[in-house]
Amino acid sequence: MMDSLDKAPPGRLHVTHVGTGPVPAVFLHGLFGQGRNFASVARNLGDLATWALIDLPNHGRSPWTDFVDYDAMALAVAAEVARMPHPVHLVGHSLGGRVAMRLALHHPRLVSGLTILDATVDDRGFDPRGFDYLRAMRVLPLYRITTREEADAELARACPDAAVRALLLQNLRRTPTGWAWQINVEALAHHLRSLATWPPAHGTYSGSVAWVIGERSDRVSPADAPAMRVLFPSLRVTVVKQAGHWVHVDAPVVVAQILRDELSRRSPSSH
C-alpha cells in the first residue's frame, strides 16, 4: 500500500548532514533520541554515504505535533526523504526502526534498502519504562533547577541508569526564561501507549532488509523473524554477540561493518 505524501504536515524536520559518499542514506533514532546520536557512525561511513540524520517529530529540533503515532511519523519522514536524492538506504533504531519499517511499507519507491537496529513488529519491542521516564521528566521542577547536575540528581530517583539519564538530559535546554524540555514530553506521554502496539500492516516491502539485533536485548528476539518475514520477505538476520538494545552503541565496529556491506551493495561503483 502506498500513501499520498499530500497529507504530510507542513513543518520541515530537522536534519543533520554527514558524509559525502555516493549512497543517499537516512538514520532515524529511538525514543528520547536525536539524529545526531548517530553522527560518529555516520562519519565513519561518510566515504560511502551522504547521511541525513533526522530528528523525528516531537524530538530534537523538529516541530511538535498534537498527535503521535508510527504512521504520522513515517509520513513526516517520507515527505522529507522525497525532497532528497532518493531512493535512500534507511536505517532505524528502536522507535526509529519501526518508523522506518512503516515508511518502507507505505512508500517503497523512496527506499532502496533497510537496516533495522533492534526493532521488531512484535509488541515486546516496547519498553514500559518509557512511561516512568516521561513521568519523571514531567514532574522535574525545572523552575528551581540551576544546573544540569541538579537535574541529573533529580532524575536519578526514577532513573538509576546513568546512560539512560544522559539520553534524557540531552533534551534539556537552557532558554532565556530558564530550563525547558526540547522534546515534547506532554504529547509523548499522552500517546506513548499507542506506540506500544505495532499497527496492522498491509502488503510487503520486497527490498533488502538487514535486521540487526542484540544478543542481550530485552526488546527483540530471533523468534520474531517469522512475523518480520511476513512483511519483509528478504529479511536477513544478524545477532550481535554481547550487545544489548543499543546495539550500535555496544558494538559500533560490528554495526559499522554491517552498514558498510549494505551501503557497498548500493554504491554506483558496485553495479
What structural domains and CATH numbers belong to the chain?
A: 5-125+202-270 (3.40.50.1820), 129-192 (no CATH)
CA dihedral 176, 130, 57, 103 (to 10 degrees): 170
In this prediction, residue 245 carries a pLDDT of 93
In this prediction, residue 119 carries a pLDDT of 96
Taking a C-beta distance cutoff of 8 angstroms, is the pair 225, 239 a contact?
Answer: no
CB-neighbour burial class of residue 124 (10 A; exposed 0-12, middle 13-18, buried 19+):
middle
Find the catalytic residue in 186, 191, 221, 234.
186
| 150 given a catalytic annotation | no
Find the catalytic residue in 62, 80, 94, 262.
94
| Helix, strand, coil share (%) of the chain residues, nearest 5 | 45, 20, 40
**CB contact burial 44-59 (16+ within 10 A = b; e otherwise):** bbeebbbbbbbbbbbb
In this prediction, residue 115 carries a pLDDT of 98
In this prediction, residue 4 carries a pLDDT of 61
Find the catalytic residue in 14, 29, 93, 245.
245
In this prediction, residue 202 carries a pLDDT of 86
In this prediction, residue 18 carries a pLDDT of 97
Spans in the chain with pLDDT lower than 70: 1-11, 125-126, 269-271
| 245 given a catalytic annotation | yes
In this prediction, residue 196 carries a pLDDT of 87
Q: What is the pTM of this model?
A: 0.93
In this prediction, residue 2 carries a pLDDT of 52
In this prediction, residue 11 carries a pLDDT of 64
| 234 given a catalytic annotation | no
